[in-house]
Amino acid sequence: MQYGLTELEGAVLSEIHHRGALTAFKVRKAFQDSPSIEWSGSSGAVYPAIRRMTESGLIQEKLMAQARKVNHLALTQTGIDALNQWIVAPQRATSVGLDPFRLRAGLWPHLPAEVRKEGLQRVKGEIESEVEHLRAYLETLDLVERRRVELSIILQETRLQWQAVHWPDEIGFDGGQ
């Protein structure tokens, strides 16, 4: 059977199943704590997604008697199947994704020289400090998130490399090794 999960839905399932998020709140937290800004981890996305998937039998909720209003979440077998399918789904898993840097890559030559130079340097600086931050962050992570961050670092370094190749003058090699 085909399930057709969105990227967020798949991510939610994997948070529950592979990263030990027991509650919707923890799932939200994981998204908010994640270094990428792609998902806000808004309750307006997470709670409806979990309700949808509960209603279609992918998630089971157990309302804890003892505690405050807390649902403990777990995947059903159907949910596990859907998640595995989502991980492997080839036309999704191989797509190049939405990359703002890439989208802009060919537009730099069309900027006025000053704006371009300043922009390229600002981008370079941002990326460098993000890489630094990601490296530190790396230590604290479980394997699932670690792989993601590792790939983020590789991506950012590729971007720096690309900048150095295409805009050596604007970036400035002076002082570097």
Partner DNA sequence: CCGAACATGTAACCTGTTACATGATTAC
Partner DNA sequence: GTAATCATGTAACAGGTTACATGTTCGG
Binding site for DNA (CB under 7 A): 6-9, 23-26, 28-29, 39-45, 47-49, 51-52, 67-71
Closest by CA to 152, choosing from 91, 90, 104, 101, is 101
CB 137 within 8 A of CB 149: yes
Q: Which does 26 bind (CB under 5 to 8 A by kind): DNA, its own copies, none?
A: DNA
Between 59 and 123, CB nearer to DNA: 59
Q: Which does 172 bind (CB under 5 to 8 A by kind): DNA, its own copies, none?
A: none
Q: What is the DSSP string of 8-39?
A: HHHHHHHHHHHS---SHHHHHHHHHHSS--S-
User: Environment class of residue 129 by beta-carbon count within 10 Å: exposed (0-12), middle (13-18) or buried (19+)?
Assistant: exposed
Q: Which stretch binds its own copies (CB under 8 A): 47-55, 68-76, 104-112, 167-175?
A: 104-112
Between 98 and 165, CB nearer to DNA: 98
HSE toward the beta carbon, residue 177, CA cutoff 13 A: 0
Two tokens at 48?
């409806």
Closest by CA to 60, choosing from 76, 43, 40, is 76
Q: Which stretch binds its own copies (CB under 8 A): 20-28, 42-50, 56-64, 159-167?
A: 159-167
Between 50 and 171, CB nearer to DNA: 50
Two tokens at 56?
């279609």
Two tokens at 160?
């720096």
CB 20 within 8 A of CB 30: no
Between 7 and 118, CB nearer to DNA: 7
Q: CB 120 → DNA: shortest distance, Å? A: 25
Footprint of its own copies on this chain (CB under 8 A)? 7, 10-11, 14, 17-18, 36-38, 84, 87-88, 90-112, 115, 118-119, 122-123, 126-127, 130, 143-148, 150-152, 154-156, 158-159, 162, 166
